[in-house]
Amino acid sequence: MNFIVIKRSWIVTAFIAAVVIIGGWIWLKPEIIPTIAPQAAKNDVVIHITTGELKSKMDDGKEIESYFWNPGTVYVPQGKDVTFNIYGVNGKEHSFYIEGTDLKGTVKKGEEIALKANFKDEGMYRIICLNHADKNSNGPMIGYIVVD
């Protein structure tokens, strides 16, 4: 009967070699892809908004739909520069304005727009889609911007 003798120093050496090899591979691998996006500067406020759509079928077979901003309410700090990145997911096009400001734009399906703002006064501002202003046009498509 043959026995294999494993010395403690061999185990420690193998462990250190494995750590060095794996660490070197991770450190030197050129095609490493970051798993998180780079963070914006600490003072930058970036809000991501998408357009959404709900559909339902009535008992009589008629289809109804409603459009919305997602998220429906966002919170932004007063007096700070804010960038709204608005991405069109549902609906062909949404022309909108932010009530109480001069801010307006149009977001199209499959496209993203960036809208820069700075709210001097605290309060609630509504982002209103002109294409879906009421129930008759599959709305109202209104979101809320709370400035605090």
Give 56-78 pLDDT, tens digit per residue. Answer: 999 999 999 999 999 999 999 99
Name the residue among 106, 148, 96, 100 with its Cα closest to residue 127.
96
The confidence score (pLDDT) of residue 43 equals 67
CB neighbours (10 Å) of residue 142?
17
d(CA 79, CA 119): 5
Question: Residue 117: what pLDDT?
Answer: 94
CATH architecture of 45-147: Sandwich (2.60)
Among the residue ranges 24-38, 66-80, 118-132, the one predicted with the least confidence is 24-38
- Judge whether 112 and 103 are in contact, CB under 8 Å: no
What is the average pLDDT score of the chain?
89
List, in sequence order, every residue forming a beta bridge with 82; answer none if it has no partner. 45, 117
Taking 90 as the threshold, does the pLDDT of residue 26 lie above it?
Answer: no
Other beta carbons less than 10 A from residue 118's beta carbon: 14
Q: DSSP per residue over 29-78, as a string? A: -TT---SSPPPPPTT-EEEEEEEEEEEEE-TTS-EEEEEEEESSEEEE-T
> What are the tens digits of pLDDT across the range 77-102?
999 999 999 999 998 999 999 999 99
Which percentage of the chain shows pLDDT scores above 90? 70
